[in-house]
């Protein structure tokens, strides 16, 4: 994998290089270069398979991070390409024309993180959520607990005890402290 | 509604003659993957009922409920999680945060029942077929949702501290305190164990919110000596901290100190008396002794509106906190800060006055409506071994008091301390400092009956004493003090095999053949303290005493003489926080008594 990394370095500016395993290499690249490098690695270096596309919400740093994992079926090598997106402009170029099945990943990410991939077929259709009118649920500022409390009725007969108060009632009930 | 919505149910009919994609297989199980997140399991005896699982659950699927057969004890609330599978989404955050790793998920995921209520159950208590399943989700190694290491407390290096009495624990910075406070999961197990039942999670939360004034107010609800306790509290709370099960418990004591340290004395009145209205009461209370229990009683009585006056036999207030604890652990200005505030609340104090000598107890009864006595354990106890009556044999309590009074004490070049408790470590470390100042070297050795692992002193005290070049050689029974030509030569000891008998009574056993000799010119005894109750001789007949010679009091610390309340070390402890607690309870008892009077 060293060889391919050296090759990449001569063509692209990559940062945060991490050789996670002998057969798995991570690095970060600028948003503008993602399509270019994916095309290059697919067409010229044999990384012909898109394994997955995933997203992480780094709320505190005001960014989303997309990770494209691509695979070299002959050498059995994986490269994970990371790209940071400004959280306020959550848009990324679609790659469905390179790998057709990427449209499913992109549709999912659009629904769960609210990151748009203009031109990706069906990207605005519901993926798993129906009639969702909240902020995308995988965004970290989505308050899951608040949503559950508001949406799902508690079952009858549920009762919980406060640890501190319960211990007081059992161990020192007379003490008014 | 679109045309598609109307037509789509019918479009399903076109599949009616096709083979199903899924295959029903009644003969073979379809087990989940080995790490599949299925139904919960809980090891009930490992679980401590801290409620971290309930707190972290993003679907409010968990309730903490009492369970038959699980007792509420210190460190275990007795509650156990009950899961509502109508809400659980199997995210396993509850497993990953679990304080004891008792909660796990099995890989069992199939369960069909027509009664929805069966899907609410208490894992581990309501028996399920997957209870013993080995597969499923457990917290992954090398990954934690919390931090299980303490933020380290900076101390002066032993060589910087072993010559002086300046405070050697530096205290947390803002960043350090907030990082430490962040580790708290707000379970509240600590509150029950704290003798004063301090609202510990609440004041730790104040640190997270960077609201020191709120923190101070919370502390004063149950403890009017936070600077002092923030330094020398025996911190029983930390022994039950839920975080201690997987790592180091919260540094609760240092966090308390941090809050008190941040609020300057000049702001105390403004912070603590905001909106406070006290209706003065006509009744008066006398308090004997200005140790923690006396100060605590005085503070809470003054807050209730009573005129209170403390009678102190020594020239300054604080009792054992000032005259028993060396200033390198508890500096005098910090004692003053706590006490000055209490005195500023209208508590009167008279120094250098001894009850029973300068004023009789009868006089107090006549002049006041109630009396609280917290006179402490100030008398040294002797080993009574041959030679212990020699003039160069001292009691630790006497020496510590002399040091605090500023009197020069006798410090020889070679000293042996008999005792393994905190007082013994205090005098050992004080003498080491004084030897260093006088001779430029340390030659003090502490020995005690208890072996290293059962020494009564706090572990850190022993470690720090050794860092300061004192020798601690535990597990020896003192035999006699060797004297030649009227001068002490040293201490003869024999190996101590055990200290207590099977029933836990003090009954040391020795191996007389294993001997050792510790050379010394001076010996200090620190094997426990006794109380001086001569000031109540005249009312003794009307009081009840236990077999062990302690005054019998009720749960409000009231003796058989209704006007006479007793607390502090002579009743319970000995330590500062118990004194504070029973002073507070006694104050409430006195209020009840005076309201009826």
In a shared domain, residues B268 and B328: no
- Are B197 and A177 an interchain contact pair (Cβ–Cβ within 8 Å)? yes
Is B50 part of the contact surface with chain A (CB cutoff 8 Å)?
A: yes
CB contact under 8 A, B188 and A160: no
Please state, in angstroms and as integers, the Cα–Cα distance from residue B96 to each residue in B53, B56, B104, following that order: 9, 10, 8
From B331, B307, B306, B304, select the one nearest B318 (Cα to Cα).
B331
Q: What's the mean per-residue pLDDT of chain B?
A: 94
Which residues in chain B have their CB less than 8 angstroms from residue A157's CB? 117
Here the CATH number for the domain that contains residue B569 is 3.50.50.60
Angle at B342 between CA B340 and CA B347, to 5 degrees: 110
pLDDT at A94 over 80: yes
**Residue at a domain's end among B240, B272, B304:** B272
Q: Which residues of B131-145 are buried (b: 16+ CB within 10 A; e: fewer)?
A: bebebbbbbeeeeee
Task: Tell me, yes or no, whether B48 lies in a domain.
Answer: yes
> In terms of domains, do B342 and B483 share one?
no
Is the confidence at residue B418, as pLDDT, over 70? yes
Give which of B76, B77, B120 to mutate to test A binding, by max A Cβ within 10 Å: B77
With bands split at pLDDT 50, 70 and 90, how would you rate the model's confidence at B25? confident
**Which chain B residue has the Cα nearest residue A162?**
B64
Q: Using DSSP bridges, classify how beta strands B79-84 and B120-121 pair: parallel, antiparallel or unpaired.
A: antiparallel
CA B161 from centre of chain: 26
B421 and B406 within one domain: yes
Strand pairing class (B522-525; B415-418): parallel
The per-residue pLDDT for range B321-371, each reduced to its tens digit, is: 999 999 999 999 999 999 999 999 999 999 999 999 999 999 999 999 999
pLDDT digits (tens, 9 = 90+) for B440-486: 999 999 999 999 999 999 999 999 999 999 999 999 999 999 999 99
User: In terms of domains, do B181 and B224 share one?
Assistant: yes
Given this model, what pLDDT does residue A175 score?
Answer: 67
**What's the CA gap between B435 and B465, in Å, rounded?**
14
* Percentage of chain B exceeding pLDDT 70: 99
> Do B402 and B495 have their domain in common?
yes
The chain B residue lying nearest A158, using CA atoms, is: B63
Section B36-50 average pLDDT: 97
| Structure-token match 């009495």, residue found | B165
- Domain enclosing residue B396, as ranges: 379-529
Residue B3 reports pLDDT greater than 80: no
A58 contacts chain B (CB < 8 A): no
* Position A12 confidence tier, pLDDT thresholds 50, 70, 90: very high
Residue B353 lies in a domain: yes
8 Å CB contact of A167 and B192: yes
Rounded to a whole number of angstroms, the distance between the first and last alpha carbons of chain B is 80
CB contact A128 to B (< 8 Å):
no
Mean pLDDT of A4-8: 94
Contact yes or no for A163 and B197 at CB 8 A: no
Give yes or no: residues B516 and B397 share one domain: yes
pLDDT of the residue at B1: 65
What was the pLDDT predicted at A177? 44
A116 vs B188: CA distance, rounded Å: 45
Domain limits of chain A? 2-153
- B388 and B404 together in one domain: yes
A166–B72: do the CB atoms touch at under 8 Å? yes
B144 within a domain of the structure (yes/no): no
pLDDT, tens digit (0-9, with 9 covering 90-100), for B104-120? 999 999 898 999 899 99
Give per-residue burial for B561-576: e unless 16+ CB within 10 Å, then b.
Answer: bebbbbbbbbbbbbbb
In a domain, B5, yes or no: no
SS (H, E, C) B429-454: HHHHHHHHHHHCCCCEEEECCCCHHH
DSSP state of B558: B
CA nearest B79 in A: which residue?
A163
Per-residue model confidence (pLDDT) at position A131 = 84
Check whether B2 has a pLDDT greater than 80: no
Q: Quote the tokens at residue B174.
A: 């803002």
Q: Is residue B570 located within the same domain as residue B436? A: no
pLDDT digits (tens, 9 = 90+) for A110-149: 999 999 999 999 999 999 998 898 999 999 999 988 998 8
| B567 shares a domain with B508 | no
Cβ contacts of B188 on chain A, cutoff 8 Å = 162-164, 167
Cα torsion B35, B99, B61, A132: sign: negative
Full-model pTM: 0.86
Give the per-residue pLDDT at B269: 96
- Residue that is last in its domain, among B482, B506, B529: B529
Among chain B residues, CA nearest to A161? B64
Helix, strand, or coil here: A102?
Answer: helix
CATH number of the domain residue B236 falls in: 1.10.1060.10
- Give contacts of A 138-157 with B, CB under 8 A: 144-145, 148-149, 152, 154-155, 157
Q: Tell whether B406 and B512 lie within a shared domain.
A: yes
pLDDT number for residue B20: 73
Interface contacts (A, B; CB < 8 Å): 86
Q: Is the pLDDT of residue B96 over 50?
A: yes
Residue A172: list chain B partners with CB under 8 A.
192, 197
3 state SS of B230: helix
| pLDDT given at position B160 | 86
Mean pLDDT value of segment B60-89: 95
CA neighbor of B195 nearest in space, from B151, B225, B227? B225
Domain spanning A2-153: CATH 3.30.460.80: yes
Cβ distance B59 to A174 less than 8 Å, yes or no, reads: no
For residue B113, report the phi and psi dihedrals to the nearest 5 degrees: -155, 150
B131 or B29, which is more confident: B131
From the list A145, A154, A160, the residue facing B64 with the nearest CB is A160
Q: How confident is the model at residue B573 (pLDDT cuts 50, 70, 90)?
A: confident
pLDDT value of position B493 = 96
Quote the CA–CA distance of B538 and A11 in Å, as a whole number.
99
If asked whether residues B409 and B495 sit together in one domain, one would say yes
Overall domain count for chain B = 4
Q: Beta strands of B107-251 (E only): which ranges?
A: 120-121, 136-137
Q: Where are the alpha helices (DSSP H) in chain A?
A: 2-11, 34-43, 102-113, 144-151, 163-171
Do B340 and B462 have their domain in common? no
């Amino acid at each position: 994998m060293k060889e391919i990394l050296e090759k990449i370095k001569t063509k692209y500016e990559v940062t945060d290089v991490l050789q996670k395993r002998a057969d798995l290499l991570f690095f970060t690249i600028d948003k503008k270069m993602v399509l270019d490098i994916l095309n290059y690695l697919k067409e010229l270096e044999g990384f012909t398979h898109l394994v997955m596309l995933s997203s992480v919400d780094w709320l505190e740093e005001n960014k989303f991070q997309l990770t494209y994992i691509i695979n070299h079926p002959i050498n059995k090598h994986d490269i994970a390409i990371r790209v940071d997106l400004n959280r306020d402009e959550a848009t990324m170029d679609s790659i469905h024309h390179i790998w057709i099945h990427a449209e499913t990943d992109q549709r999912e990410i659009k629904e769960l993180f609210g990151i748009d991939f203009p031109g990706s077929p069906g990207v605005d259709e519901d993926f798993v959520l129906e009639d969702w009118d909240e902020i995308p649920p995988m965004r970290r500022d989505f308050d899951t607990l608040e949503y559950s409390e508001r949406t799902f009725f508690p079952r009858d007969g549920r009762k919980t005890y406060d640890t501190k108060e319960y211990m007081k009632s059992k161990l020192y009930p007379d003490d008014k402290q | 509604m679109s045309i598609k919505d109307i037509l789509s149910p019918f479009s399903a009919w076109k599949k009616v003659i096709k083979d199903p994609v899924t295959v029903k297989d009644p003969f073979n199980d379809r087990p989940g993957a080995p790490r599949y997140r299925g139904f919960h399991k809980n090891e009930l005896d490992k679980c401590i009922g801290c409620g971290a699982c309930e707190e972290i659950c993003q679907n409010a699927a968990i309730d903490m409920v009492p369970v038959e057969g699980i007792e509420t004890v210190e460190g275990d609330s007795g509650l156990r999680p009950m899961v509502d599978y109508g809400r659980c989404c199997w995210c396993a955050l509850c497993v990953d945060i679990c304080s004891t790793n008792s909660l796990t998920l099995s890989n069992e995921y199939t369960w069909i029942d027509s009664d929805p209520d069966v899907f609410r159950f208490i894992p581990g208590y309501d028996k399920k077929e997957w209870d013993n399943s080995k597969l499923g989700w457990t917290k992954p190694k090398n990954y934690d949702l919390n931090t299980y290491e303490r933020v380290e407390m900076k101390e002066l290096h032993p060589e910087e501290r072993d010559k002086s009495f300046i405070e050697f624990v530096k205290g947390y910075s803002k960043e350090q305190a907030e990082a430490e406070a962040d580790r708290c999961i707000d379970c509240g197990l600590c509150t029950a164990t704290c003798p004063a039942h301090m609202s510990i999670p609440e004041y730790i939360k104040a640190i997270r919110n960077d609201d020191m004034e709120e923190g101070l107010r919370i502390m004063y609800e149950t403890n009017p000596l936070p600077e002092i306790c923030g330094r020398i509290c025996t911190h029983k709370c930390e022994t039950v901290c839920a975080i201690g099960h997987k790592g180091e418990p919260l540094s609760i004591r240092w966090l308390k100190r941090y809050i008190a340290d941040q609020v300057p004395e000049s702001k105390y009145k403004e912070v603590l008396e905001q909106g406070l209205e006290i209706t003065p009461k006509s009744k008066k209370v006398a308090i004997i002794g200005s140790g923690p229990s006396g100060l605590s009683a005085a503070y809470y009585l003054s807050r209730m509106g009573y005129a209170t006056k403390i009678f102190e036999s020594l020239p300054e207030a604080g009792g054992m906190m000032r005259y028993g604890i060396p200033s390198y652990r508890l500096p005098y200005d910090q004692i003053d800060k706590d006490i000055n505030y209490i005195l500023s609340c209208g508590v009167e104090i008279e120094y250098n006055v001894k009850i029973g000598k300068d004023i009789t107890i009868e006089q107090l009864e006549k002049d006041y409506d109630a009396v609280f006595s917290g006179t402490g354990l100030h008398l040294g106890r002797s080993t009574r071994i041959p030679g212990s009556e020699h003039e160069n044999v001292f009691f630790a309590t006497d020496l510590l008091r002399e040091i605090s009074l500023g009197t020069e004490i006798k410090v020889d070049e070679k000293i042996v301390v008999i005792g393994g408790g905190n007082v013994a470590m205090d005098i050992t470390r004080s003498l080491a400092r004084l030897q260093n100042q006088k001779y430029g070297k340390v030659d003090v050795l502490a020995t005690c009956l208890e072996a290293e692992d059962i020494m009564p002193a706090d572990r850190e005290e022993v470690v720090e004493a050794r860092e300061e070049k004192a020798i601690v050689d535990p597990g020896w029974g003192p035999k006699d003090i060797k004297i030649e030509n009227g001068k002490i030569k040293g201490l003869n000891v024999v190996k101590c095999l055990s200290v207590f008998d099977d029933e836990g009574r003090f009954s040391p056993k020795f191996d007389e053949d294993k001997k050792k000799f510790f050379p010394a010119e001076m010996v200090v005894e620190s094997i426990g303290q006794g109380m001086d109750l001569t000031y109540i001789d005249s009312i003794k007949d009307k009081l009840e005493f236990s077999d062990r010679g302690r005054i019998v009091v009720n749960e409000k610390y009231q003796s058989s003489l209704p006007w006479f309340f007793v607390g502090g070390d002579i009743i319970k402890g000995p330590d500062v926080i118990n004194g504070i607690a029973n002073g507070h309870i006694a104050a409430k008892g006195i209020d009840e008594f005076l309201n009826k009077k």
